[in-house]
Amino acid sequence: MTKEEWYGQLFERLGNSRFRSSFHLKQKDIDYINSKGMDTIREHARDFIAKREAPAVIPNDGKQTPMKGHPVFVAQHATATCCRGCICKWHKIQPGRELNEAQQEYLVDVIMTWIRNELDRYGLI
C-alpha cells in the first residue's frame, strides 16, 4: 500500500469518527500557525511526539496531551496521535516499545497533513 493510499484510508476513517472529526483549528490556532510558520509548528510536533509519545513507558499515558492550547495538541486528538493507546488502535504501532525515528516522523507527518488539510479547508493554503 502506498503512503497516499494509507493516508486516504486513515483520514477517511478519522473523518467517520464522531470524536476525531469534531476537532478543528480555532482562529487562535490559525493565528499562532501564521505567526510561527509551518516549519516551527513541525518542530513543535516533533518535540511533543519525542517527549510525550516516543518513550516505551509513559506514566500518564492517555492523559499526556491537552485538548487545546496548541494547534499540534488539537491535531493530535484529531489524528489519534495523542496517546499510545490511540496510536496502537489507529496507526497499528504497538505500545511498550520506544518509538523509533521513522515512527516518530510518520506521526509528525500525519499531524502536519491534518493541519495543512485544516488550513486548506479554511482556504488558507
Give per-residue pLDDT as tens, 76-86. 999 999 999 99
Query: Mind listing the pLDDT tens digit for each residue in 97-119?
Result: 999 999 999 999 999 999 999 99
Three-state DSSP class for 75?
A: helix
Non-local CB neighbours of 119 within 8 Å, separated by 6+ positions: 25, 30, 33, 125
Residues 24-77 pLDDT 10s: 999 999 999 999 999 999 999 999 999 999 999 998 888 989 999 999 999 999
Return the H-helix or E-strand segment holding 2: none
pTM of the complete model: 0.94
What's the grid cell of residue 122?
479554511
